[in-house]
Amino acid sequence: MAERRVGPSSYFDPSRIDTLDPPTADLVRRRVGALGPAYRLFYRSPLHIVRGQGVHLYDVDGAEYLDFYNNVASLGHAHPRVTAAIAEQAALLNTHTRYLHEGIVRYSEQLLATMPASLGHVMYACTGSEAGDLALRIAKYFTGGTGAVVTRNAYHGVTTEMAAVSPSLGGLESLPPWVRVVPAPDTLRTDTTGFTGIGEWFAAQVQAAIDDLAAHGIRFAALLADSIFSSDGVFTDPAGFLAPVRAVVADAGGVYLADEVQPGFGRTGDAMWGFQRHGSAGEPFEPDMVTIGKPMGNGMPVAAAVMRPEVVEAFGREQRYFNTFGGNAVSIAAAQAVLDVVQEEHLQDNAARVGARMRDDLRSLMAQHASVGDVRGAGLFLGVELVDADGGPDEGLTLQVINALKERRVLVATSGPENNVLKVRPPLIATQADSDRFVSELDAALSDLHA
Ligand SMILES: Cc1ncc(COP(=O)(O)O)c(C=O)c1O
């Protein structure tokens, strides 16, 4: 099968190995030899990182980089509260969920208190993929259906089941018959004529997909939606636009599965969870299931599926769930430290404040650089869409920009089906000075490229 166009071009090209300095080339060669062909390295020439501290990463030569990409280390790299929690718990006990332990119960209660009251149970896994896999399995069990609807460039993970609902991995031709894709709610490029707005338009796409599943004799089980559409190109506004699609899923008897692996834990600034931006005081947005991961352990592999008790009731009675490492005492200790720090240090507020100013500053770049076609996002998750002279997606420029930023010691990556959206996701502790540095380096990189 032909290599898909999207993706690999933002990575190191192994045929250029001889252009690297000898120690780097040697490590790349040994890595490819040991890990095989499926792994990728970021950037035109790979980065060899050996240390992280706060928003900074340091390479093997001691050079410092501003990390505006890693939403996993959302408290910053090597956060002392997290490293201490991990070390203390590892020195005491690390075992599984078949013994009573106070830690997991305490953490679960504190976590559930941040969610709508209707989401009453949490089940643990090690990765976002595993959490999504479990959630979809439970959703299928609950509904008796198999049909799933996802967005056009969605990414939900690497298990066989999650890869099957991730068109960004293998393309549309790789999808099984029980999956339907809908276009993402792309506010820059969608013609919503005939609809009240992007929300009603998106709900109509999902309704059509559910109808098509039914026409093929496939019962609808779930809509999986990343609440910030991170791999589709970052779509956040207007807040509230997911409310109509929530109603469509409920009316069809399916499960609304909010994938919060990317926007969760305060990143959007407006709320602890990305989906909450789409509700209001009078009408809160309440998914049936939520998956969380990435920043949950600030780097420790810990993830979870959160759900309405009714959804898991029959599954829990008739099946059983055990995950050797999911919910182990050390991972939970890390997760506890993360949640405590997010809450005690008001990192959601910091994301709102620093993110809003950064969005404004990036928007002001649009006046100086015709290539900046759109700036969108919420809190500290922003998308900067780079376009050509006709306003079309400019993947080539985007790849030049991320490599130029790397040379300027600032790290970001790309998103979107056309790979032309800068994905900007600094740790939640990023300061105004960090944001200023990023914006000014981007400005300079675009000027150098005459873009
Ligand atoms: C939206 C989304 N869902 C799920 C996953 C899978 O998480 P993990 O890599 O922890 O399996 C990812 C990972 O990038 C993701 O971005």
Q: Dump pLDDT digits (tens) for 185-230.
A: 999 999 999 999 999 999 999 999 999 999 999 999 999 999 999 9
Q: If you measure from the C-alpha of residue 406 to the centroid of ligand 1, how many angstroms do you get, rounded to a whole number?
A: 24
Q: If you measure from the C-alpha of residue 159 to the centroid of ligand 1, how many angstroms do you get, rounded to a whole number?
A: 11
CB proximity list for 428: less than 8 A, separation 6 or greater: 74, 75, 265, 266, 267, 295, 342, 347, 348, 350, 351, 380
Q: If you measure from the C-alpha of residue 447 to the centroid of ligand 1, how many angstroms do you get, rounded to a whole number?
A: 34
Which tokens is 220 given?
A: 């609808």
To test the pocket of ligand 1, the residue of 133, 162, 227, 262 to mutate (highest count of ligand atoms within 8 Å of its CB) is 262
To test the pocket of ligand 1, the residue of 261, 268, 331 to mutate (highest count of ligand atoms within 8 Å of its CB) is 261
- The CB density around residue 12, as the number of other CB atoms within 10 Å, is 18
Please say if the pLDDT value at position 261 is more than 80: yes
| Full-model pTM | 0.96
Average pLDDT of the segment spanning 372-379 = 98
**Residue 9 — very low, low, confident or very high, per pLDDT cuts 50/70/90?**
low
pLDDT in tens, 163-189: 999 999 989 988 999 999 999 999 999
> Helix, strand, coil shares of the chain as percentages rounded to 5?
40, 15, 40
Kindly list the strands in the beta sheet with 220-226, ordered across the sheet, starting from the edge strand earlier in the chain: 121-125, 303-307, 289-292, 255-259, 220-226, 147-151, 179-182
- Say what the pLDDT of residue 142 is: 98
Please say if the pLDDT value at position 286 is more than 70: yes
Helix (H) or strand (E) segment spanning residue 23? helix 22-35
pLDDT in tens, 20-78: 999 999 999 999 999 999 999 999 999 999 999 999 999 999 999 999 999 999 999 99
Q: If you measure from the C-alpha of residue 129 to the centroid of ligand 1, how many angstroms do you get, rounded to a whole number?
A: 6
Dihedral (CA of 263, 264, 268, 271) sign: positive
- For atom 2 of ligand 1, which residue has the closest CA? 156
Atom of ligand 1 nearest to the CA of 127: 10
Burial class (CB in 10 A: 0-12, 13-18, 19+), 401: buried
**Residue 281 — very low, low, confident or very high, per pLDDT cuts 50/70/90?**
confident
* Separation of alpha carbons 419 and 422, rounded Å: 8
- For atom 3 of ligand 1, which residue has the closest CA? 156
For 190, phi and psi rounded to 5 degrees?
Answer: -90, 135
Q: If you measure from the C-alpha of residue 349 to the centroid of ligand 1, how many angstroms do you get, rounded to a whole number?
A: 24
One-letter amino acid of 270: D
Residues flanking ligand 1, CB < 6 Å: 127-129, 132, 155-158, 226, 230, 259, 261-262, 293-294, 303
Coil, strand or helix at 251: helix
Which tokens is 129 given?
A: 């993929």
- Say what the pLDDT of residue 6 is: 42
Please say if the pLDDT value at position 411 is more than 80: yes
For 73, phi and psi rounded to 5 degrees?
Answer: -80, 65
Q: If you measure from the C-alpha of residue 128 to the centroid of ligand 1, how many angstroms do you get, rounded to a whole number?
A: 5
- For atom 7 of ligand 1, which residue has the closest CA? 128
Q: If you measure from the C-alpha of residue 68 to the centroid of ligand 1, how many angstroms do you get, rounded to a whole number?
A: 18
- Say what the pLDDT of residue 10 is: 77
Average pLDDT of the segment spanning 360-389 = 98
